[in-house]
Amino acid sequence: MDTYAIEMLEITKSFPGVLANDRITLQVKDNEVHAVLGENGAGKSTLMSILFGLYAADSGTIRVRGKEVRIDDPNHATSLGIGMVHQHFKLVHNYTVTENIILGNEPRTVWGNVGIKKAESDIQALSTQYGLDVDPKAKIESISVGMQQRVEILKILYRKASILIFDEPTAVLTPQEIDELMKIFDRLKAEGKTILLITHKLREIKATADRCTVLRRGKFIGTVEVADTSEGRLAEMMVGRKVSFSVERKPRVPGAVVLEIDNLTVRGSRGHSAVPSVKNLSLYVRKGEILGLAGVDGNGQTELIEAITGLRPIESGKITISGKDIGRATIKARIEAGMGFVPEDRHKHGLVLGFRLDENLVLKTFFAPPYTTSFGVLSRRKIFENATDLIAAFDIRAGEGPATKASSMSGGNQQKAIIAREIDLSPELLIIAQPTRGLDVGAIENIHARIVAERDKGRAVLLISFELDEIFNLCDRIAAISKGEIVGIVENKEADERKIGAMMAGMVLGREGRQG
């Protein structure tokens, strides 16, 4: 009989209007890598928050190493040897690695001051033991994201954790960094640690986990041996039906160039930073093709899109749509030149949440006929009818139809509404940023099909995504961006994950060999 490191039995937790965890059972064996798989909203984070003492369960029992416990707060969890690496790191940027690790738990010398020297050597020893390769004296702001994550790991190892929880650890990493992380998992396991991996990515589970517990809509679906279970089966358990992850994409010969960017330089959000966020960037998108921009978050994608769409002024360079220079045109002029834009942040840019759905669907067209009649008077009837049409055509689910307040709609339907609006403008060029972030599989399928349909209609599409799978599934050509520069552009057929990953990390093709 195996011994369990953690047992969470029949855990139930409800929030007003939501049953987040419905009698969920999670049993993690000692010294295994155990994955918790589920879509957004399946209840993974709630379950982990309960284990970590952030929330109290309504009912159910928790046992750590066979002993029943009540975990009241994170400090209690830490004392039980449970540590968590959060998806969003909790580090002080202008502190050193050591300072961050000992923060809140500072060792004292006999004189009563902080024993930083001792801590540094302890951390160095831990880093070597687990092969983490972290410099204890480096400042957080000067090290890479992957390294920051290893600092988080060190932080919990320093607190003598034996059970490590990773919440979506790969979301911010390049493919190479992900490989590194997988190796770190192996080493942690070899040193006797137990790992709980929370994720919605099947491939990672196949690559590292021993067993996997699947949740769906707050319910426990099952725990399986990963070695005996196919990816397809896992997906089916997660979603509740068979899913096809690949989108059918007929080959198509691209037409004339629609969007052309020439030597574009854009300054970043931090006003004083002398370093531009986009540097001498050039690319083009043709009719009937999808160009994917692959890159790790924060490499200038946001600034590039904002520059193309007019939300951010450009420093130098040229942007043209079908030959028309729009680099310094107003946003309205760009929309009229045929640019549709599905923004990254649908709450900040995409929707006016306090407006009704029908008002949101005419956000870019309300000022002109048929929605505005003579003397600037709006036609409520036309606005309503437009919404009725789009709701039917794009399968937008909204409780009160066109009169539904945008804020009361689900994320997937909000996104469908934005896509409906942008496609309905019938733009020549569709710019789409992070179209499926935070959405469930059903909505993702629907949205992917829409994007490919636009390409097949002959539109030019520029797609920005942090999900490489999405890029590979949808795009005809893939451009990799790193530190605001295009590292290379390749045909999808000729690309593979290693190649794109290397480019995302800033290695120019052909130099790969020498670098690694």
Partner 1 sequence: MNRKKNWEQILADDRTVSLFVVGLGFACGTLLVLLVGKNPAGMYQAMLQTLTGWDITRKVWNARYIGEWLTASIPLILCGLSMGFAARTGLFNIGAEGQYIVGLTAAQFVALYFPPVPVLHWVAALAAAGLAGALWGGIVGILKARFEVSEVVATIMLNYVAFFLSRWVSMAIPGANTYRTPNFPPTATLASGFLENLTNGSRLNYGLFLALLACLFYWFIIEKTNLGFSLRATGLNKEAARYSGIPVTRSIASSMIIAGMFAGFAGAAVALGSFNYGRVLGGYDNYGFNGIAVALVGNSQAGGILASGLLFGMLASSQPLMQSRQIPKEITLIISGLVVVFISLRAGVKLFLDWRAKKATRTGGRSNDE
Closest by CA to 35, choosing from 231, 149, 166, 172, is 166
Kindly state whether residue 367 participates in binding partner 1, applying the rule CB under 8 A: yes
* Residue 36 or 101 having the CB closest to partner 1: 36
| Residues of span 185-244 touching partner 1 by CB under 8 A | 200
Question: Of the two residues 17 and 510, which places its CB atom closer to partner 1 in the complex?
Answer: 17
Nearer to partner 1, 191 or 367 (CB): 367
What does the per-residue mask of binding to partner 1 show for 421-460, with x meaning CB under 8 A?
A: ----------------xx----------------------
Q: Is 89 in the site for partner 1 (CB under 8 A)?
A: no
- Is the Cβ–Cβ distance between 83 and 161 less than 8 Å? yes
With CB under 8 A as the contact rule, which of the stretches 13-21, 258-266, 282-290, 485-493 interacts with partner 1?
13-21
The residue behind tokens 């970043």 is 268
Q: Which is nearer to partner 1, 300 or 350 (CB)?
A: 350
The DSSP bridge pattern shows strands 194-199 and 33-37 to be: parallel
Q: Which residue in the set 12, 27, 87, 322 belongs to the binding site for partner 1 (CB under 8 A)?
A: 87
303 binds partner 1, rule: CB under 8 A:
no
Compute CA distances 156 → 39, 95, 205, 407, whole Å: 27, 17, 22, 38
- Contact partners, residue 81, CB within 8 Å, separation at least 6: 64, 160, 161, 162, 163
From the list 225-233, 318-326, 375-383, 451-459, the region that binds partner 1 by CB under 8 A is 375-383
The answer to whether residues 55 and 49 touch, using CB atoms and an 8 Å cutoff, is: yes
Residue 399 binds to partner 1 (criterion: CB under 8 A): no
Q: Is 177 in the site for partner 1 (CB under 8 A)?
A: no
DSSP element (H, E) containing 19: strand 18-29
| HEC string for 206-255 | HHHCCEEEEEECCEEEEEEEHHHCCHHHHHHHHHCCCCCCCCCCCCCCCC
Cα(47)–Cα(61) distance, integer angstroms = 12
63 interacts with partner 1 by CB under 8 A: no
Residues 240 and 295: their CA atoms lie apart, in Å, by 31
Tell me the three state secondary structure of residue 288: coil
Name which position in 173, 195, 319, 335 contacts partner 1 (CB under 8 A).
Answer: 335
Which range in 229-237, 258-266, 271-279, 351-359 contacts partner 1 by CB under 8 A?
351-359
Query: Does 351 participate in binding partner 1 (rule CB under 8 A)?
Result: yes
442 within 8 A of 235, measured Cβ to Cβ: no
Residues contributing to the site for partner 1 (CB under 8 A)? 13, 15-18, 20, 38, 40-47, 49, 55, 87, 167-168, 200, 309, 311, 330-332, 334-335, 341, 343, 348-355, 359, 363-364, 366-367, 371-372, 375-378, 411, 437-438
